[in-house]
Structure 1
Amino acid sequence: MTVAVVLLSITVILLVALLSAVGAGMLARIDGATWPTACTRAAGAFAAVLALAAAVTAALSPFFT
């Protein structure tokens, strides 16, 4: 894999994680949660997307070595 593909995939993963965090925070806030609770839910969603991306990368890495 070239460096450009790796950097592009990292950028896409971070963008998806950020968008899911914003969505989770907005939904929590619309639901009536306080700001700290909404931020906590957004952080949880961000971490979950990054953990899922890491798990998929670890699972697929033997096929690209």
Structure 2
Amino acid sequence: MFTAAPVVVIALMAAAVAGKLARLDGASYPAAMIWAATTFAAATGALASYLT
């Protein structure tokens, strides 16, 4: 549990930044959500591979 929490927190922060940058770039809300979700999935997968 102590290793999973930081992974989720870091992935959520990366997703929030990706969504904000997409909105600043002029993307619509659905497109920004897709960018954020893709970033969250990629960050979670990349960070989880280091923990196992």
Normalised by the length of structure 2, the TM-score is 0.90
- Identity across aligned pairs (percent)? 37
* Moved beyond 3 Å, runs of 4+: none
User: Which structure shows the higher helix fraction?
Assistant: 1
Find the counterpart in structure 2 of residue 47 from structure 1.
Answer: 41
Residue correspondences, number:
52
Q: List aligned pairs for 1:4-19, cutoff 5 A.
A: 7-19=1-13
Cα shift at 1:8:
1.7
SS in 2 for 1:8: coil
Cα distance in 2 for partners of 1:32, 1:47 equals 22
Q: For residues 13 and 55 of structure 1, what CA distance do their matches in structure 2 show?
A: 10
> Which is higher, the Rg of structure 1 or of structure 2?
1
RMSD of the TM alignment (CA)? 1.0
TM-score if structure 1 supplies the norm length?
0.74
